[in-house]
Structure 1
Amino acid sequence: MEQRPWQITGGTALLEGALRAADIALAEGAVAATAPPGARRIDASGLLVLPGLVDLHGDAHERGLQPRPGIGFPAEMAVRDTAAQLLASGITTAYLGVTLSWEPGLRSLDSWRALMAALDAARPALAPDLRVHLRFEADNLDALDDALSDIATGQVHLLGFNDHTPPILARMDDPKQVAKYAGRAGLSAEEFRALITHVAARRDRVPETRARLAAAAAKAGLPMLSHDDATLADRALYRGLGARICEFPMAEAVAEDARAHGEAVVMGAPNVVRGGSHLGWASAAPLAERGLVTVLASDYHWPALLAAPFAMVRRGRMDLAAAWALVSGNPAAAAGLADRGALRPGLRGDVVLVDPAGPEAVAVFCAGRLAHLTAAGAARLD
């Protein structure tokens, strides 16, 4: 983690949209035109030298908080574990998808507060840039004041409009689904049914809540996204609130509409790696090849984000430069991060050295610091 200049030599680097043999220098936290005197060297022969991954939505940190239903661990432990997993996956900028729901337990206001405090305390010592993607559940009226305050004070970096109450209500006749939701919330099935009935009775206040959140995010200059848009009317609603990112559209027509309006469209990297959605929705890879999906996110599995571009290349319709844009340059642009997503002098020194045979992140630099190194990578140091 020492801050000293580096020279990454002998690798194949992604520069200006193409892969070519080139050395990359890092100095004072950024990509440099040339390596200054005294730069330490790492041999990248046989490796790809790529911009660090930018993840707009990853919620695998929830497993660190609650590895089994009702079994919780301190947020401080979850944050440290999350940072280590991110680096091993080549992710240098991560928007943790933190759901702030009306449910007690894992996604409650208490859990939100604990995680925000843990992130604030840990950030000075963390290598990856950990940001917060607030996934605000529409019916969570009791947490609105906290959300507005955290947006105003800079603890939130991306606002997502979630509305999972209707689909949860639709599953209340399925005992297995009820047991899943109740277990996550630490309630009995009867208690959970009573809770969601109470929540659903206040649906008339949702539009006002959304409008207040959108106004606060706009004032703070935060990017906004909508989640699971099922119809063109959904997309139009959230577009009207200022959400210029369409995340996990449930219909191809919604993705087409978003792209026609120049908006980013996000789908899951696990969808690409597994060959399709685990929920039976649209397959992300062919939509990306058609330009309808512009960003891939780790969703529930960090390692999938590194694997997805190589899976796209194996399909034979996209080269690695175009595929890597889905997980680095494009998400950075969608989030308004003009200082990363490419290997260009002056940009943030976020670099991942990848063994394409894995693919595996052999070494990871965050803001010019060596933050992750495998045993094979250690043998490459000067």
Structure 2
Amino acid sequence: MDISEIAISDYTEVDVGERLGKVRSIFERENPKGLIVTRDGEYAGVIGERDLVRSRIENDTKASVLMKSAPRVDRTEDVREVARVLVEGNTKIAPVYEGENLWGIVTADAILEAVLDSLDALTVEQIRTADVVTVNEQSHVGQAINRLRKHGISRLPVVDEDGYLTGVLTTHDIVDFVVRDADRQGRGDRRGDLDRMLDIPVYDLMSSPVLTATGDETVEDAVRRMLDNDISGLVVTDEEGGDSVAGVLTKTDVLRALTFTEEGQMDVQITNVALLDTISREEIVEEITGVADKYQEMQVQHAHVRFHEHKEKLRGTPLIQCQIRLRTNRGQVAGTGEGYGADHAFHVAADTLERNVLEVKGLIADEEYRGQLLRKLGEL
């Protein structure tokens, strides 16, 4: 399936030097699905509607500050490849070309809507993010922001002191509150106000009740719920209406699932490839493949490598967090590491991953041993 019937020509084009104030007025007036940013008439990047609406950047700032670099795709490109491009570029929109001419855009939502009927073969359990990060409802907003930044995520399930789900806090909730408060208070030096905002309990900003999914329901049903409610993710619970957090499912998880290869073959996907410095995509794929080949009985089908840049730097090199997750016939195995530069971060994460793989392999061996022992005892 290609994107020829999915891509749309509903976009607006602006120069990199255009003021964000004017860009916002264009969105309000024309309501396009996306915005293409050009430099000297040539494609330079994209700005998504959500990115623009949720940004607190001043109106006099240039559009180049907010734009993302999304790889161009061909109008007849396969939908799986376009899903990979969106995930690896950490963007929800990409420019679509017909030959050498810019034709339009393709969005993540448009792809998900087009493939909905085929998502009934997948369950939420198969593609959810299991190692979920949560926050307590009495924690301060500042603590939640630090957690979002540290893990490079956009939502946090909120739990009470007993660990039960009570709400969800997203970056949108935080930005929306800050913008509304700024509109009420006016401009000027508001550092004291911002400090007080950071001390507000998460409970006061979280969304509740929470839209959830269960592991045994189809991805099709879960995606329909996201699209119908214009949200980007669902909290996964142990049972329908349950309050025990079992994971998170996002639109990005679903796009990533579209790139999975056939059973028995491994696909490696990298998010935020722009952060690669002294290590190449090919080297990462080679090392991940090497780990998978060592433990073939685990049958690794998909690997996801995600890089996230922190503000801290050492002699100009940023602190990078790397997360590696393998999808195997034995479940998910992950490894996380940090280092200055993508190369260092990846190798720290790869070492952690291999230790975790060995632990899983050990558990599998123990289970097999116990099974053999029980069978022998039964023969006595």
Which TM-score band (shorter chain)?
under 0.3
Q: Normalising to structure 1: TM-score of the pair?
A: 0.26
Q: Normalising to structure 2: TM-score of the pair?
A: 0.26
* Higher relative contact order (Cα pairs below 8 Å, separated by 6+ residues): 1
